[in-house]
């Protein structure tokens, strides 16, 4: 199971826990370019910290592929001119 799905399940299970709240703030910050205090990650236990790091990795990879897809779409449009 990927990290984003794990985080969704953890947050949905009990959104009032400090871990769920921290992960939700992290995801919100990644999506909207809000600020996020990295110190919050260090307050998580090791498994939740590791999950947060995996979320960051997946988010970065997804953004890379999204950018690559946009470039491909542009190249196709230019080729059709």
Q: Tell me the pLDDT tens digit for each residue of 30-41.
A: 988 889 999 999
Confidence class of residue 1 from pLDDT cuts 50, 70 and 90?
Answer: low
Confidence class of residue 27 from pLDDT cuts 50, 70 and 90?
Answer: very high
Over 90: is that where the pLDDT of 13 sits?
yes
Q: Quickly tell me which residue has 């090791």 as its tokens.
A: 46
Burial of 57 (0-12, 13-18, 19+ CB in 10 A): exposed
More confident residue, 60 or 75: 60
Q: Quickly tell me which residue has 């995801």 as its tokens.
A: 27
């Amino acid at each position: 199971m990927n990290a984003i799905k794990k985080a969704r399940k953890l947050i949905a299970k009990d959104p009032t826990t400090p871990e769920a709240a921290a992960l939700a703030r992290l995801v919100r910050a990644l999506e909207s370019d809000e600020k996020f205090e990295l110190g919050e990650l260090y307050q998580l236990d090791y498994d939740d910290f590791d999950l947060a790091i995996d979320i960051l990795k997946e988010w970065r990879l997804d953004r890379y592929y999204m950018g690559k897809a946009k470039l491909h779409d542009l190249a196709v449009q230019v080729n059709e001119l």
